[in-house]
Amino acid sequence: MNVAIVIFDGLAALDAVGPNEVLSNTPGVDVTFVAQEARPHRTDNGALALVADQTLDEVPNPDVLLIPGGVGTRRLLHNEALLEWVRAADATTTWTTSVCTGALVLGAAGLLEGKRATTAFSELETLKQFGATPVEERYVHDGKILTSAGVSAGIDMALYLAALLVGEELAKAVQLGIEYDPQPPFDCGSPAKAGPELTERVRVAIARQVAAAA
């Protein structure tokens, strides 16, 4: 069972590395980081580069496709070579998945037409442009498409996916192995919990980051 995590300049590191921590620790699952060029890719806020070991062309038929988000996704929406690879890969995947604004890439590839899907809270409405029905849930399963909310939601989605791939017992062992027993010091990780004022402030900050990266 092979999982291709597609990376690109300007991705959000945790979007890719959260699911990788789950899936690369799942028995029988091989994870490969792929990109248009096999080289280090600088993540959105510059502190870190993740290495893509293989090019997209070298991994044409992953069982699972995962597209992370980050400000860099916006440049991918008009990258026809990448979108064509995504469409071709999806034709033979068991699961096609995204974290955060990775869903916009699935949408631009035409894969969310008529699907329920989710993404970063700040881009939920954008999903309608791709014919999808936005759903404000942690992760959404529609057919063979799994989409998750922003950034850290990829960890939850990946545990759910691990259970689909190898069963609940092994997925639970992975959860214990990575000690995923979340105890954040605050409880404001969604717009509903954070309230309108903080949410507006974060929404503005995100819009500024997206504009700066354009």
Active site residues: 100
Near its own copies by CB under 8 A: residue from 188, 196, 207, 211: 188
Q: Alpha helices of the chain — where are they, by DSSP H?
A: 13-23, 73-76, 80-90, 102-108, 153-166, 168-177, 191-194, 196-213
If binding is defined by CB under 8 A, does position 212 make contact with its own copies?
A: no
Cβ closer to its own copies: 109 or 157? 157
Cβ closer to its own copies: 2 or 92? 2
If binding is defined by CB under 8 A, does position 135 make contact with its own copies?
A: no
Q: Which residue's entry shows tokens 């062309």?
A: 57
Over the window 5 to 44, marking each residue x when it contacts its own copies by CB under 8 A and - when it does not, the resulting string is: -------xxx--xx-xx--xx----xxxx------x----
Over the window 97 to 116, marking each residue x when it contacts its own copies by CB under 8 A and - when it does not, the resulting string is: ---x----------------
* Per-residue buried b or exposed e for 128-161, using 16+ beta carbons within 10 Å of the residue's own CB: eebebebbeebbbbbebbbbbbbbbbbbbbbbbb
Cβ-contact 4, 64 below 8 angstroms = yes
- Residues in contact with 45: Cβ distance below 8 Å, sequence separation at least 6, in sequence order: none
Near its own copies by CB under 8 A: residue from 37, 45, 128, 136: 45
Please report, to the nearest 10 degrees, the dihedral formed by the alpha carbons of residues 6, 9, 13, 15 taken in order. Answer: -40
Near its own copies by CB under 8 A: residue from 34, 115, 150, 165: 150
Q: Which of residues 65-84 bind its own copies (CB under 8 A)?
A: none
Q: How far apart are the two ends of the chain, measured CA to CA in Å? A: 36
Q: Nearest distance from residue 100's CB to its own copies, in Å?
A: 8
Tell me the helices (H) and strands (E) count for the chain, helix number first.
8, 11
Q: List residues near its own copies by CB under 8 A.
A: 12-14, 17-18, 20-21, 24-25, 30-33, 40, 45-51, 53, 100, 120-121, 138, 149-153, 155-156, 159-160, 163, 168, 171-173, 175-186, 188-191, 193-194, 198-199, 201-202, 205-206
